[in-house]
């Protein structure tokens, strides 16, 4: 690392110089600490909906513009990347229009109500919220201290390895038997604890002869944490400066990140140990970014594990709290957000983005900057044929991420009655002693649509959101909820992507029911107390993701987090600026997935469009502010 220090200095100097040479920066979005003591949670759904479900009409838009003047920017989509960018811009005095196609703001942070139960869609836990970290401070400023966090259990993730010989009909029979008898499938379990050393000790207890390998793994995590600055620096610095570093090969002097990114998670684990069970345990949460260990760069996995290292948290009141507390700031600056406002086209003139056309009524809205939070491939499709469709980005080795499947279950007993813990279980069906997560998961996605339930789903993320939210019992007395997430092949459901939601027909319903019921049986075989408690049950498929969050191919986390995405070249391409003047991108596709990753993608974009290093502004304010404000 020492030999790279001068190059890091050069890189950062290039960033600084580039900022100085740019046109006049906007005002500092973080001049003062805006945290105020948290108010009581707003339970009234009508009051909440006034903020998070502002329906579009041409009349309302006209009225707003008449009163506030033209917008400084339009953002397509309202996920956490958009919310972060819009709120920072608003804090810098910009009038931003956010257009969301769904009937609620928030993207993956939206929640839905059905039969008296509320479910989050894309938020289970977030790291780095327990201490006074920069990202925690960012959320505090964006929500003016109103978004509150609850600690998830100290043993926040438990890896559950169910011994499974062949993932076939015999395995299904064993599951059925346990469901019938109300007994628990035997498994090997190992928990991740808040705190690096505590987790190491826990792992060593389970694998006493593997201490050296375990410590090596954690040392590598630290190496990636340090090298991460190099990845962030490439995104922050002007493209020409990053290109120069890459073309001259100096990039590998500037940072070790891209060298570390050349190895997959599987390769790194193979180098550390031969113990297959340990390897499975260390790779367990690849499902949080959706790429199999053999295809994911070790750096991506390390970033995630580092993010969780000191414990994880949950937004009190649920994920709709993000939008509920951020959009008032956007509006206070003269901005506006609309739902049911799908953008059908990015309008371009002379090759530059000048506005958007709404799909619903053809209204064209103009602004000097168009920012897309819709994801890379969707954005490319919104461009007119006369404009280059972001080829430098779409052809940089990236591809759609894996399709997601979510099972939402409302339970007719309380958390206490069901003895549910506010934590997560990562259950795998794989042969004991020969654990091969790559193998079983690949075999599963390679199944045909008609064979998808021929054996167990090899990976289930099982959570009980009701047990994580301290407000749940107040909101839903006597009830509890479970959400189970897994991945699947988009093609199993792709043929129905053009059909209307709720009207996709018998074939779709049958397939959805089959996979949903299988996932639920597997869950009940691990948690027998849940049997006979189901009051609400629904399944979200990749096609559901496409409908509600416009996931291009039903993916959970945007672009695939494969090795190709994390080369220096692709890192340099996937940035807020595009080759189309006035068109910018924000959110997970230009950084990485996760609430923190996508929010950072929003901050990065805000830095570019405001012509200032917003992260430096944030850190400056953090230094001047107390760690927390009195309650």
Ligand X SMILES: Cc1cc2nc3c(=O)[nH]c(=O)nc-3n(C[C@H](O)[C@H](O)[C@H](O)COP(=O)(O)OP(=O)(O)OC[C@H]3O[C@@H](n4cnc5c(N)ncnc54)[C@H](O)[C@@H]3O)c2cc1C
| Cβ at position 375, least distance to ligand X in Å | 6
Tokens standing for residue 336: 């506006």
DSSP lists the bridge partners of residue 408 as 483, 538
Question: Closest distance between ligand X and the C-beta of residue 87, in Å?
Answer: 12
Closer residue to ligand X, CB minimum distance, 185 or 292: 292
Measured from the CB atom, the residue of 255 and 320 that comes closer to ligand X is: 320
Number of Cβ within a 10 Å radius of residue 292: 23
Q: 291 in helix, strand or coil?
A: coil
Under DSSP, is residue 460 helix (H, G, I), strand (E, B) or coil? strand
Q: Alpha-carbon torsion 238, 239, 244, 246, what sign?
A: positive
Is the CB of 437 or the CB of 549 nearer to ligand X?
549
Task: State the minimum distance, in angstroms, from the CB of residue 106 to ligand X.
Answer: 7
Instruction: Report the residue number, 15 or 323, with the smaller CB distance to ligand X.
Output: 323
What's 511-540 look like in SS3? HHHHHHHHHHHHHHHHCHHHCCCEEEEEEE
CA–CA gap between residue 126 and residue 424 (Å, rounded)? 12
Specify the residue, 371 or 374, whose C-beta has the smaller distance to ligand X.
Answer: 374
Beta strands in 201-260 (DSSP E): none
**Nearer residue to ligand X within complex by CB, 102 or 612:** 102
CA distance 462 to 519: 10
Can you tell me whether residue 425 is helix, strand or coil? strand
CB of 356 to ligand X, least distance (A): 8
Residue 533 CB, nearest distance to ligand X (Å)? Answer: 23
- Residue 58 or 201: the one with the smaller Cβ distance to ligand X is 58
Helix crossing, 595-610 with 614-624: angle to 10°?
110
Q: At what angle do helices 265-272 and 298-308 cross, to 10 degrees?
A: 80
Nearest CA to 540 out of 404, 406, 445, 449 is that of 406
What tokens were used for 567? 């080369």
* Residues that bind ligand X in the complex, under the rule CB under 6 A: 76-82, 99-102, 107-109, 122-126, 342-343, 373-374, 378, 404, 406, 485, 549-550, 556-557, 587-588, 593-595, 598
* CB-side neighbour CA atoms (13 Å) of 154: 5
Considering beta carbons, is residue 26 or 378 the nearer one to ligand X?
Answer: 378
Closest separation in Å from C-beta 589 to ligand X = 7
- Cα 350-355-361 angle, rounded to 5 deg: 125
Give the residue with the Cβ less far from ligand X, 105 or 418.
105
Least separation, in Å, of the C-beta of 540 and ligand X? 8
Q: How far are the Cα atoms of 141, 276, 457, 553 from residue 486, in angstroms, in the given order?
A: 33, 22, 8, 15
Instruction: Give whichever of 238 and 601 is closer to ligand X, judged by the CB atom.
Output: 601
How near is the Cβ of 611 to ligand X at its closest, in Å? Answer: 22
466 vs 479: CA distance, rounded Å: 8
Q: Specify the residue, 210 or 342, whose C-beta has the smaller distance to ligand X.
A: 342
Contacts of 471 (CB under 8 A, 6+ apart): 41, 316, 317
Beta carbon of residue 201, minimum distance to ligand X (angstroms, whole number): 26
Closest CB 65 distance from ligand X, rounded Å: 19
Smallest distance from the beta carbon of 336 to ligand X, in angstroms? Answer: 14
Which residues are registered as beta bridge partners of 461? 426, 485
Structure tokens at 91: 């804090």
């Amino acid at each position: 690392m020492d030999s790279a220090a001068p190059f890091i200095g050069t890189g950062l100097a290039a960033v600084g110089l580039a900022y100085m040479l740019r046109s006049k920066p906007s005002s500092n979005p973080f001049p003062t600490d805006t945290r105020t003591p948290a108010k009581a949670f707003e339970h009234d759904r009508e009051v909440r909906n006034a903020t998070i479900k502002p329906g579009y009409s041409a009349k309302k838009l006209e009225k707003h513009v008449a009163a506030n003047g033209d917008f400084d920017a339009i953002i397509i989509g309202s996920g956490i990347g958009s919310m972060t960018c819009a709120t920072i811009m608003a804090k810098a005095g910009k009038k931003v229009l956010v257009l969301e196609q769904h009937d609620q703001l928030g993207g993956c942070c939206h929640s839905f109500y059905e039969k008296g139960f509320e479910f989050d869609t894309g938020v289970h836990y977030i790291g780095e919220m327990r201490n006074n970290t920069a990202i925690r401070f960012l959320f505090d400023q964006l929500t003016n201290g109103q978004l509150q966090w609850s600690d998830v259990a100290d043993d926040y993730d438990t890896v559950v390895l169910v011994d499974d010989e062949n993932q076939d009909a015999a395995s299904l029979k064993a599951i059925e038997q346990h469901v019938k008898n109300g007994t628990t499938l035997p498994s090997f379990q190992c928990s991740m604890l808040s705190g690096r050393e505590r987790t190491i000790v826990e792992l060593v207890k389970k694998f006493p002869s593997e201490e050296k390998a375990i410590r090596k793994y954690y040392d590598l995590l630290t190496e990636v944490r340090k090298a991460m600055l190099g990845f962030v620096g490439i995104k922050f610095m002007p493209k020409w400066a990053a290109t120069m570093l890459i073309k001259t090969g100096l990039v590998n002097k500037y940072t070790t990140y891209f060298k570390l990114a050349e190895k997959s998670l599987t390769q790194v684990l193979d180098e550390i140990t031969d113990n297959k069970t340990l390897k499975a345990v260390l790779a367990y949460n690849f499902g949080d970014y959706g790429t199999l260990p053999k295809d994911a760069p070790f750096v991506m996995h390390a970033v995630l594990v580092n993010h969780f290292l000191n414990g994880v948290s949950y937004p009190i009141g649920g994920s709709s709290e993000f939008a509920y507390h951020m959009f008032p700031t956007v509006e206070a600056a003269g901005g506006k957000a609309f739902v049911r406002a799908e953008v059908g086209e990015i309008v371009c003139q002379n090759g530059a983005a000048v506005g958007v056309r709404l799909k619903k009524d053809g209204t064209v809205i103009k602004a000097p900057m168009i920012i897309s939070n819709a994801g890379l491939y969707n954005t490319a499709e919104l461009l007119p044929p006369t404009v280059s469709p972001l080829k430098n980005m779409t052809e940089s080795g990236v591809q759609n991420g894996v399709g997601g499947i979510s099972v939402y279950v409302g339970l007719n007993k309380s958390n206490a009655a069901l003895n549910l813990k506010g934590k997560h279980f990562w259950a795998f069906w794989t042969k004991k002693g020969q654990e091969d997560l790559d193998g079983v998961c690949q075999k599963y996605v390679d199944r045909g649509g008609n064979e998808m339930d021929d054996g167990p789903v090899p990976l289930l993320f099982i959570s009980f959101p009701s047990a994580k939210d301290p407000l749940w019992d107040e909101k839903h007395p006597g009830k509890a909820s479970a959400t189970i997430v897994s991945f699947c092949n988009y093609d199993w459901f792709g043929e129905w992507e053009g059909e209307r939601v709720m009207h996709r027909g018998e074939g779709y319903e049958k397939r959805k029911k089959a996979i949903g019921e299988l996932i639920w049986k597997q869950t009940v075989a691990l948690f027998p107390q849940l049997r006979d408690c189901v009051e609400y049950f629904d399944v979200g498929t990749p096609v559901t993701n496409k409908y509600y969050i416009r996931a291009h191919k039903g993916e959970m986390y945007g672009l695939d987090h494969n090795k190709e995405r994390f080369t220096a070249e692709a890192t340099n391409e996937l940035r807020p600026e595009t080759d189309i003047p006035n068109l910018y991108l924000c959110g997970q596709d230009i950084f990485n997935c996760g609430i923190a990753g996508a929010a950072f993608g929003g901050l990065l974009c805000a830095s570019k469009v405001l012509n200032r290093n917003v992260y430096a502004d944030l850190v400056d304010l953090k230094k001047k502010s107390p760690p927390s404000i009195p309650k």
